[in-house]
């Protein structure tokens, strides 16, 4: 599997790369949870709510763990929308979008960093 | 193993809790690397340089991955000293110290979150 194939969820525990943006507005997420723009959460069109991803910004070397609690982004060519707090921590606010390395985490999942 | 036994490195891939503080001064780390206070790095007295830890602040629910590149903290009762950038991301700046959940990561290590 190419590590650069966007939006490939075939091998959940390997690292792959996704195009991500961030958002800070809204009051309610698609999961029903209150939206906290400072939280480490994210929106995905396909991943189940509650999925945890270890997300790395190669440009800054920073990694955070985000939890999927919303649906989106509804913009072509973007696969993940991070709550602003996670984007701040990853150092991607100025550029607005970033190509991030993603590792899907689960109980006792195998992880390579 | 109790999850609350501080500084227990016996079972590296389980979660355990450590008392952590943060630091922002210094120019050179014990690994020889330049100290970047905005980096996601940390000091430990015992863990090998290059070790990656997934660190969660239960008070904020935020998790980041830090890499050990320095030695410390040399204060009784504290087990981990985070570069300020990681502490900001975890939301522990105001309190100064925090009890953090730690999962040690390695290539293909088992991780539970």
At residue A111, the pLDDT reads 52
At CA A69, angle to CA A65 and CA A75, rounded to 5?
95
Check if the beta carbon of residue B42 is closer than 8 Å to that of residue B65: no
| Every domain of chain A and the residues it spans | 3-105
CA distance B68 to chain A (A): 13
Nearest CA-CA distance, residue A107 and chain B, Å: 4
Output A29 or B12, whichever has higher pLDDT. Answer: A29
CB contact (8 A) between residue B65 and residue A113: yes
Confidence bin at B16 (pLDDT 50/70/90): confident
Report field, pTM of the whole predicted structure over 0.80: no
- Nearest CA-CA distance, residue A87 and chain B, Å: 10
Q: What is the pLDDT of residues A8-52, one digit of tens each?
A: 333 444 578 999 999 999 999 999 999 999 999 999 999 999 999
Task: Answer whether B61 sits within 8 Å of A40, measured CB to CB.
Answer: yes
- The pLDDT mean for chain B works out to 85
* Proportion of chain B above pLDDT 70, given as a percent: 81
Cα separation, A34 vs B23, whole angstroms: 33
pLDDT at A1: 36
Query: What's the average model confidence in pLDDT over B57-84?
Result: 95
Q: Which of A37, A50, A62 should we substitute to test contact with B (largest number of B Cβ atoms within 10 Å)?
A: A62
* pLDDT tens readout for residues B39-68: 999 999 999 999 999 999 999 999 999 999
> Token pair for residue A68?
């999927």
What secondary structure does DSSP assign to A20-73, as a single string?
Answer: EEEE---SB-TTSPBP-TTSSEEE-SSSPTT-EEEEEETTTTEEEEEEEEE---
| Chain A residue at shortest CA distance from B112 | A107
- CATH says B3-105 is which class? mainly beta
Helix (H, G, I), strand (E, B) or coil at B53: strand
Peptide bond into B15 cis (omega under 30): no
Compute the distance between CA of residue A67 and CA of residue A113 in angstroms, rounded to an integer.
18
Peptide bond into B73 cis (omega under 30): yes
The pLDDT of residue A106 is: 64
- Predicted ipTM beyond 0.95: no
């Amino acid at each position: 599997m190419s590590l650069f194939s966007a939006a490939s969820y075939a091998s959940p525990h390997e690292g792959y790369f996704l195009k991500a943006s961030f958002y800070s507005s809204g009051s309610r997420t698609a999961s029903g949870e209150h939206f906290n723009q400072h939280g480490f959460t994210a929106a995905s069109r396909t991943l189940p709510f509650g999925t945890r991803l270890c997300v790395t910004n190669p440009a800054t070397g920073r990694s955070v763990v985000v939890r999927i609690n919303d649906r989106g982004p509804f913009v072509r060519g973007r696969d993940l929308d991070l709550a602003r707090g996670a984007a701040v921590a990853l150092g991607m606010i100025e550029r607005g979008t970033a190509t991030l390395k993603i590792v899907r985490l689960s109980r006792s999942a195998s992880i390579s960093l």
